[in-house]
Amino acid sequence: MRNNTGIEAATEVEVNEILGWPKVEPIAGGLPPVETFDEQLLPTSFRAFAVDAADRMQVPLDYPAVVSMVCLAGVVSRRVRMQPKANDTGWIIVPNLWGGIAAPPGFLKSPLIQSITSPLNKIQAEWRTIHEQAASEYEQAREESELRRTAWREMYKKSAKSGNPAPNRIDDALREPTLQRLIINDATFEALHQTMSENPAGILVVRDELTGWWSQLDRPGREGERAFCLQAWNGDTGHTIDRIGRGTIHVPACCMSMIGGIQPGRLRSYLADALADGPSNDGLIQRFQLMVWPDTSLEWHYVDRPPEATAEEQAGRVFRRLVQLDPENPPCYRFAPDAQELFVAWFRENEGKIRGGELHPALVSHLSKYRSLMPSLAVLFELADWAASAGSANAVSLDHARRAAAFCDYLESHARRVYSCIVTPQLRSAQELAAKITDRKIGTEIGNEGFFTSRDVYRKGWTGLDSPELVERAATILVDSGWLRDMPNETGPDGGRPSKRYAVNPRIWE
């Protein structure tokens, strides 16, 4: 009897001794390295705020840094515009941003987002109190107006009967107060559109889990909502909704910033499906320009102290000054002359990457969105420093343009990691199986060291390895890469179909 290697049947030990094992080849698709975040990339007024949150929660600085920048964009939105080119007045951008944090479950994504958005929630709470008072006054004025109108109608009837001149019509039209909003957590498509109609500056959407929202937009019948969200990313596109019973609601310029968390496993699965040629491959994912996937440190320290009140107050002051800008008359910023030169050089380099023909189409689409990201970051940095001081800002300085370019470099490394996980299900299963072997979670059972069957694997229910077919496909790749060798099949304890059996290359654990 011969096994698949052409060697006469022998015991496992004899096979291992007779055949020399090759060098193990790495499995393609591993995560590329990413840049760590440098606090100097943040505006001065937000550095202490972000560093404090990262230290108290023992999370990478990337988390609070990205959330802070999206919050800043959510506050500014349509209150300011930016003209990236010196002479092209046809290209004007709104500096709203979308971002996300890719991290495993339990790494405090939601508490971190809640901590950084705390100053905005305080502003919104104050606006709600003001609105409640205004609503109460409006209701009282409406009742008084209705009484006056009732009295006028009675007088009008009497005048008509007696032939006397009609009394002057009462003109006391009232306008119901609207609630100013900064943050929305969960809302229907129609409610979101309604809120934008009442808040022309735009709004910030905070999602606990981004993949849940993405999946909702993929469902049949949600095409209109998906198109609306794509327009809201632009920040300057109008949208009209006609509904029976609600009439017509028109928003001249929909504008939305967004931040949320996402688990790497779900991100991988979603990207594999969404970026295949189909209706979901419309650039929605690529609009999350501030998507980060940092390494999580194995080191952890117990920290128990109050938040730095001074740091939060400083960030809050910036937010409060910026929300006072008038979205009906937004100033339009441009680069200072030396900053313009830097932007042109950066723009040429970025276009070279986009048009070089060497990148995955999904990454090309992502980097194309950096055309607006870099000037958006630059003007946000300028505004943050202006709001933290008593000075004035007329143009985006060279320092802020440099910081924006460096921030884009940092984000590009994370984008390359995000899109590197776009692999076939078979290769993902091979990566999972390789990781289990490396971690000695399979192939090390006492009395059967160095061997395992497909049954040993799929019975454990690991993601991507929970069926005989998935295990055997993964093992095929590992055999080709020198990790495994096929062995004679092993019949199950109750007979039936034999389970595929594999020998593990001992050089894996050297």
| 43 and 384 Cβ atoms separated by less than 8 Å | yes
- From the CB of residue 327, how many other CB atoms can be counted at a distance below 10 Å? 17
Q: How confident is the model at residue 71 (pLDDT cuts 50, 70, 90)?
A: very high
Question: Can you list the positions of beta strands (E) in 137-295?
Answer: 183-184, 203-207, 237-243, 247-254, 256-262, 290-292
What is the spatial distance between Cα 303 and Cα 297, in angstroms, rounded to a whole number? 15
Q: Does 344 lie in the same domain as 294?
A: yes
Q: How confident is the model at residue 38 (pLDDT cuts 50, 70, 90)?
A: very high
> Which residues sit opposite 110 in a β-bridge?
none
> Which whole number is the average pLDDT over 25-32?
73
Strands 203-207, 256-262: pairing is parallel
Residue 340 covered by a domain: yes
Residue 132 covered by a domain: no
Q: Does 391 lie in the same domain as 295?
A: yes
Residue 304 covered by a domain: yes
Q: Does 390 lie in the same domain as 464?
A: no
In the chain, the percentage of residues whose pLDDT exceeds 90 is 51
Q: Does 434 lie in the same domain as 386?
A: no
Instruction: Please tell me which residue, 393 or 406, carries the higher pLDDT value.
Output: 406
From the list 382, 214, 197, the residue with the least C-alpha distance to 287 is 214
Instruction: Please tell me which residue, 242 or 429, carries the higher pLDDT value.
Output: 429
Q: Does 449 lie in the same domain as 416?
A: no
- Domain CATH for 478: 1.10.10
39 has a pLDDT exceeding 80: yes
Q: Does 350 lie in the same domain as 330?
A: yes
437 has a pLDDT exceeding 60: yes
Q: Which of 391, 420, 449 is a domain's end point?
A: 420
> Which whole number is the average pLDDT over 442-456?
83
What is the spatial distance between Cα 174 and Cα 280, in angstroms, rounded to a whole number? 45
Q: How confident is the model at residue 327 (pLDDT cuts 50, 70, 90)?
A: very high
CA-CA distances (angstroms) from residue 345 to 208, 290, 348, 371?
Answer: 38, 22, 5, 12
Cβ contacts of 428 within 8 Å, gap of 6 or more = 29, 268, 272, 464
Provide the 3-class DSSP secondary structure of residue 52.
Answer: helix
Q: Does 303 lie in the same domain as 391?
A: yes
Cβ neighbourhood burial of 355 (10 Å; 0-12, 13-18, 19+):
exposed
Provide the 3-class DSSP secondary structure of residue 84.
Answer: coil
Question: What is the count of structural domains for the chain?
Answer: 2
Q: Which stretch of DSSP H or E encloses residue 170?
A: none
- Boundaries of domain holding 23: 12-29+425-509
Using the structure block, give the residue that is written with the tokens 């994504």: 109
Q: Which of 405, 420, 435 is a domain's end point?
A: 420
Provide the 3-class DSSP secondary structure of residue 249.
Answer: strand
Instruction: Please tell me which residue, 277 or 452, carries the higher pLDDT value.
Output: 452
Q: Does 375 lie in the same domain as 274?
A: yes
12 has a pLDDT exceeding 80: no
Report the chain's mean pLDDT, rounded to a whole number: 87
- pTM of the complete model: 0.78
Lowest mean pLDDT among 3-17, 164-178, 232-246, 343-357: 3-17
Q: Does 478 lie in the same domain as 402?
A: no
Q: What is the pLDDT of residue 145?
A: 84
Q: Which of 377, 396, 420 is a domain's end point?
A: 420
From the list 499, 501, 469, the residue with the least C-alpha distance to 486 is 501
> Which whole number is the average pLDDT over 490-498?
60
Question: Can you list the positions of beta strands (E) in 143-211?
Answer: 183-184, 203-207
Lowest mean pLDDT among 88-92, 325-329, 358-362: 358-362
Q: Does 432 lie in the same domain as 416?
A: no
Residue 396 covered by a domain: yes
Residue 19 covered by a domain: yes
Q: Does 429 lie in the same domain as 415?
A: no
Q: How confident is the model at residue 141 (pLDDT cuts 50, 70, 90)?
A: confident
Q: How confident is the model at residue 146 (pLDDT cuts 50, 70, 90)?
A: confident
What is the spatial distance between Cα 481 and Cα 402, in angstroms, rounded to a whole number? 44
Residue 212 covered by a domain: no
Residue 25 covered by a domain: yes
> Which whole number is the average pLDDT over 38-48?
96
Q: Does 488 lie in the same domain as 361?
A: no
Residue 112 covered by a domain: yes
